[in-house]
Structure 1
């Protein structure tokens, strides 16, 4: 399994999601990334699962998923091979 990101210290401060991603602390405004998390209770926010690969975080009580690449603005292009 490819490890996409090393995610640690998932926490909330007010309306901000704070994460340690690949050794760097990052903060994200919930208003721009997730209305579900913005309006979630403390127990809903603190009940989460980090994917084993570090690709994303899932909050099962509110059925919300956040992609780490999406948070960081990383996009992937598909490499298609076409034959004629």
Structure 2
């Protein structure tokens, strides 16, 4: 007998930057960390520009208006958007 586990859609609550990575903290306690090299606009942005982010799609993505960058959390996880 198999059991189907349904995971909720990933919803971002916070974004944290280190020198070489960006970490997306999700509402369910998971975090996704990726290299800043994957996102040249964020890599080259100032700390103030990086701090100015807003959730899109009820938290399913992040938008940085100052650098015109959008990131889908599902896309980072290899899930369909």
TM-score w.r.t. length of structure 1: 0.75
Normalised by the length of structure 2, the TM-score is 0.77
2:36 is the alignment partner of 1:30: yes
Tell me the SS of whatever aligns to 2:41.
helix
| Equivalent residue pairs, number | 73
In the other structure, the counterpart of 1:16 is 21
Quote the offset at 1:52 in angstroms: 4.8
* CA offset digits 1:7-55 (Å, max 9, x no partner): 12211011211111231122111112x1100111101100000125222
Q: Which runs of 5+ in 1 are unaligned?
A: 77-84
Provide the alpha-carbon RMSD of the alignment. Answer: 1.8
Tell me the equivalent position of 2:55.
Answer: 50
Deviation at 1:66, TM superposition (A): 0.5
The Cα of 1:70 is off from its aligned counterpart by 1.2
